[in-house]
Amino acid sequence: MAAQPYGLIATFDKTPDVFHAAEQVRDAGYRNWDVITPFPVHGLDRAMGLKRSLVPRISLIGGLTGFTTGMTMIWWTGGYDYKLVVGGKPFFSPMFAFPVSYELTILFTAFATIIGMFVVNGLPMHYHPVLKYDHIRRGMDDQFFIVIEARDPRFNAANTRALLEKAGGKNITEIEA
């Protein structure tokens, strides 16, 4: 029984080469593909056509939830649960609730960011088919790769290979799932 293909991987030697190849793959209409680089490449997200991440919005929601939780908790305990007048202090004052709210804002933002990052990035992923490629370690050192997945609606092995060759890809190899 033949192994099911995961997709095609192409090797690039220089940053500008992979950058322009990513633009060509994006312009060809592919949606399920990725670029593997040994270091961050400024503007590559835009060249790939990626939208801004949802993680900052999730972090904001976590921070607002933490702040609201802190203020509500101090309001509830001071105004209803444990009414105690100390030195003429009001039952609730934002000035006295701020330290608790501040700390809960930081705590909830950190938790929301970590959980959001795991969910959005699909983590934990203990194995990925790209790891079967013999030269993938070079992607952490000095080479660049573009991987186009077979599940992409536009994927056709021959046409995708031709696109990667036209874009300047070398050592175009099929990866098994």
The 10s digit of each residue's pLDDT in 124-135 is: 988 899 998 999
Domain ranges across the chain? 5-51+126-176, 55-120
31 CA to centre of own chain: 16
pLDDT at 67 over 70: yes
Tell me, what's the pLDDT at 32?
95
Mean pLDDT computed over every residue of the chain: 94
Tokens 């972090």 sit on residue:
59
| Contact assessment for residue 38 and residue 142, using Cβ atoms and an 8 Å cutoff | yes
Tell me, what's the pLDDT at 79?
85
Tell me, what's the pLDDT at 31?
95
pLDDT tens-digit profile of 78-129? 888 888 888 888 888 899 899 999 999 999 999 999 999 999 999 998 889 9
Q: Report cis status (omega within 30 of 0) of the bond before 124.
A: yes
pLDDT tens-digit profile of 24-42? 999 999 999 999 999 999 9
Q: Which of 83 and 63 is assigned the larger pLDDT?
A: 63
Using pLDDT thresholds of 50, 70 and 90, give the confidence band for residue 177: confident
Residues written for the chain: 177
Task: Tell me how far CA of residue 123 lies from CA of 55, 114, 118, in angstroms.
Answer: 13, 11, 5
pTM: predicted TM-score of the whole model, two decimal places: 0.80
